[in-house]
A and B are shown apart, each in its own frame.
Chain A
């Protein structure tokens, strides 16, 4: 990886979690999307491709284009999320909330090939609340071109304590 211009390094991290999401990886690896990301000031593209069969093309970015790298899985993507300036993720709730809790700008891409797509409900609800942007593989390029991070409303992390309280109360334990 090119470490020369670290202070100008702005990384886009793409994650598909434990799934196979070839249409997202293909779209992100396309000339149009990479050029759109470059135009927005991003310098690096890291793709976590999961169980997919489409393999992206690595690039050292010598010709001024994005530096592209990829991998299949990692035991924890927390470090990749932390060093990203923009995250493009599948619509899994784990990826979404891990990213939101790190306060990273997020584009969620819904996989329309999944049968019972309840995942899109979550992405749409959070997009309505302006916590993230929502796209489909076909619309990702457009969404990238018109990306405006100023419209994002920060997400307030949830709290498991009220649930724990009710559970304790029901079991007859003293509630602190």
Chain B
């Protein structure tokens, strides 16, 4: 009986702390950073499949590499091309700008919550599994910037293929206000989602 009470107590306290934490993260997002130091920020780049990776590489090309370092790339386990494209991109960087050292650029794979065409029922199980894997990776990496939970600034760029409707990821991040900045690439989306940023197309 005592064990049950103490376990329940721990569970309630932990849940409360978690809820407070989540509310804090949500309230703190979209506020510009107060620290204007020139320190580089460890960055997690999340690569969607196919054309989305091309958009991301386009964005990374114009970002100052020394500000966004070290860099961790994540792609879906079933996506064979994206990490390869990221490797090629990192290889083309000027030696003076790119980072030396074993841990400064890393490439990782993550389980997808749902494959294209997968039934929504089986998606519940695979999503939970992917979530557990993702949480484990986040704790391991603890990035300061997420491109594609304060500890991190989160920037989300909606795919250029999304003209009239947001993707599920974009919709979740927008509604839950979890991204510091959410970019859309077509004016029709900005009209529907006024808190999104529209500054033209990436491609």
Residues of chain A touching chain B, judged by Cβ–Cβ distance below 8 Å, are 17-18, 75, 92-98, 101, 114-115, 118-119, 121-122, 124-125, 157-173
Are B50 and A164 neighbours in the complex by a CB distance under 8 Å? no
Are B181 and A121 neighbours in the complex by a CB distance under 8 Å? no
Are A94 and B67 neighbours in the complex by a CB distance under 8 Å? no
Q: In chain B, residues 30-47, which have Cβ atoms closer than 8 Å to a Cβ of chain A?
A: 32-38, 41
Are B32 and A168 neighbours in the complex by a CB distance under 8 Å? no
Residues of chain B touching chain A, judged by Cβ–Cβ distance below 8 Å, are 32-38, 41, 49-55, 58-59, 61-64, 67, 80-81, 84, 116-117, 145, 153, 155, 157, 159-165, 167, 180-181, 183, 185-186, 197, 199-203
Are A94 and B51 neighbours in the complex by a CB distance under 8 Å? yes
Are B202 and A158 neighbours in the complex by a CB distance under 8 Å? yes
Asked, given contacts A93-B161, A115-B116, whether A168 binds B67 with beta carbons under 8 Å apart, the answer is yes
Since A160-B58, A170-B32 are in contact, a sample of 19 more A-B pairs with Cβ atoms closer than 8 Å, ordered by chain A residue number, is A18-B80, A92-B161, A93-B55, A93-B161, A97-B51, A101-B203, A118-B162, A121-B164, A122-B160, A124-B163, A158-B200, A159-B200, A166-B181, A166-B183, A166-B197, A171-B32, A172-B33, A172-B36, A173-B67
Are A96 and B197 neighbours in the complex by a CB distance under 8 Å? no
Determine chain B's interface SS by DSSP, over half rule.
loop
Report the Cα distance A170→B201, complex, angstroms: 19
Residues of B within 8 Å of A162, CB to CB, are 199-200
Report the Cα distance A94→B56, complex, angstroms: 11
Residues of A within 8 Å of B50, CB to CB, are 17-18, 92-94
Asked, given contacts A93-B203, A160-B58, whether A172 binds B35 with beta carbons under 8 Å apart, the answer is yes
Are A167 and B203 neighbours in the complex by a CB distance under 8 Å? no
Are B153 and A171 neighbours in the complex by a CB distance under 8 Å? yes
Asked, given contacts A93-B160, A119-B161, A121-B163, whether A170 binds B58 with beta carbons under 8 Å apart, the answer is no
Are A93 and B35 neighbours in the complex by a CB distance under 8 Å? no
Are B32 and A122 neighbours in the complex by a CB distance under 8 Å? no
Residues of A within 8 Å of B163, CB to CB, are 118, 121-122, 124-125
Report the Cα distance A168→B84, complex, angstroms: 27
Are B34 and A164 neighbours in the complex by a CB distance under 8 Å? no
Are A97 and B41 neighbours in the complex by a CB distance under 8 Å? no
Are A121 and B162 neighbours in the complex by a CB distance under 8 Å? yes
Question: What's the minimum C-beta distance from A57 to chain B, rounded to whole angstroms?
Answer: 28
